[in-house]
A and B are shown apart, each in its own frame.
Chain A
Amino acid sequence: MENPDPIIHDASRLRIVMVLSGAGTADFNFLRSTLQITNGNLSSHMSRLESAGYVAVEKSFRGKVPHTAYRLTKAGRKAVAEYWAMMDAIRGGAGK
């Protein structure tokens, strides 16, 4: 049996992609305050998601303050859909 995508199958990263899948974009502060995880933790997870091509990063400045926003890519949306399809399949096949 295939294993779930290890990039998605993580407590924090799964929540990150679920938040992003309901929005157009969400910035770093929003993800941190919503998920209640530390800056370092969030940065690490976003780097992994970006490396996997699931998240696109938009960096800008608001005056002199850097602003980072994230958007789920098509590959990311597809990965999330496949993840849940696999979880449903696992759940439906378990117990046989």
Chain B
Amino acid sequence: MTSRPLQPDPAENDLRQIPVWMGKYASARKAALGMILWYGFYLFFCAAMAGLIYAGGFARRGGHTSLVYLCVAGLVLVVAGLICFVICFSIPSWNTRFLTWLIGKIPASEGEATPACPAVATQLNRWYVWSGVALLIGGIQVDLILGFLGYITPKYMQPVSALTTVPFLVLVYFAVRPSGASALILLWPLLYTVHAILIVCDVPPFALPGFWQSNAILISTAGYGLLMAVFMLIYSRFALRRVRRLARVQSPGGSSLEG
């Protein structure tokens, strides 16, 4: 008599896939909502900085010294606010608490599910946060200032900013990873890098007229961030459909087989 194991039951394989797709749904949804929040705040801060820098440049050219100082003071406050936001958002426990509160405010017909936290935040994650903050200060902000003061041509502001923005975004991902953030977040620095390469190769993905050319950084940052958030929301809906298909109780009338 031959002995061979029974073939795996396809229904059992479906059940084993549930945690996989459940994790993808929860992490993609959380990341999408987090990125939309990030996008909104970042856009606000960058718009405030751009406005202050533009006003400062205008005041400097017009010789209004007190207005220049006022703009610089405002810029310092806005940068400080942005740094505080980045820190709060990048510390996994604060991130999780804030996003849990936010997710609770957003009605979801399917109910709520949070991703499993794969690890506890360590000192290394905090190092990621501080490194990212340092890059943020030394990178895109200086780039914006130099750009508006005319030291970098508007065309190359985005590629120059990519030198610090891309590592910053990657560091933020590693900082929030313990709270169950999806790896799809890395699409954002990937798109930002591709955009920079295309500009350097003289094949810009989109042409902006006049004033808007100087704001290419804001548009590419916010735009790719929003695009990535939308993609992750769509992916989370796809993952939820898979979970539902795999987890639906198959017995007649939806009743369970009581044990």
Per the bound structure, the CA–CA distance linking A27 and B111 in Å amounts to: 6
Knowing A12-B256, A15-B18, A41-B255 are in contact, say whether A24-B6 is a contact too (CB < 8 A). no
Q: Are A9 and B23 in contact, CB atoms less than 8 angstroms apart? A: no
Can you give 25 contacting A-B residue pairs, CB < 8 Å? A12-B256, A15-B18, A18-B15, A18-B16, A22-B18, A22-B19, A22-B20, A22-B23, A22-B116, A22-B243, A23-B115, A23-B116, A24-B117, A24-B180, A25-B112, A25-B113, A26-B112, A28-B111, A31-B111, A34-B244, A35-B247, A36-B244, A36-B248, A41-B254, A87-B12
B-facing residues in A17-66 (Cβ within 8 Å): 18-19, 21-38, 41, 45, 62
Q: Is A82 an interface residue, CB under 8 A from the partner?
A: no
Per the bound structure, the CA–CA distance linking A6 and B259 in Å amounts to: 6
- Classify chain A's interface size: 35 or more
- List residues of chain B with CB within 8 A of the CB of A27: 111-113
CB-contact partner of A15 in B6, B20, B110, B247, under 8 A: B247
Per the bound structure, the CA–CA distance linking A10 and B258 in Å amounts to: 6
Q: Beyond A28-B111, A35-B247: 12 further Cβ-contacts under 8 Å?
A: A7-B259, A18-B16, A22-B22, A23-B116, A24-B113, A24-B116, A30-B112, A34-B111, A34-B240, A41-B256, A62-B104, A87-B12
Knowing A18-B247, A33-B110 are in contact, say whether A84-B16 is a contact too (CB < 8 A). yes
Q: Is A94 an interface residue, CB under 8 A from the partner?
A: yes
- List residues of chain A with CB within 8 A of the CB of B15: 14-15, 18
Interface SS of B by simple majority: loop
Q: Are A29 and B20 in contact, CB atoms less than 8 angstroms apart? A: no
Q: Is B251 an interface residue, CB under 8 A from the partner?
A: yes
Say how far B19's CB is from chain A's closest CB, in angstroms.
3
- List residues of chain A with CB within 8 A of the CB of B256: 10-13, 37, 41, 45
Say how far A37's CB is from chain B's closest CB, in angstroms.
6
- List residues of chain B with CB within 8 A of the CB of A45: 256
Per the bound structure, the CA–CA distance linking A96 and B4 in Å amounts to: 7
Per the bound structure, the CA–CA distance linking A33 and B243 in Å amounts to: 11
Q: Are A34 and B243 in contact, CB atoms less than 8 angstroms apart? A: yes
Q: Which residue in chain A gives the minimum CB-CB distance to B250?
A: A11
Q: Is B114 an interface residue, CB under 8 A from the partner?
A: yes
Q: Are B5 and A95 in contact, CB atoms less than 8 angstroms apart? A: yes
CB-contact partner of A24 in B20, B115, B251, under 8 A: B115
The 8 closest A-B pairs by CB, nearest first: A30-B111, A22-B22, A22-B19, A29-B111, A12-B256, A18-B18, A96-B3, A26-B113
- List residues of chain B with CB within 8 A of the CB of A21: 18-19, 22
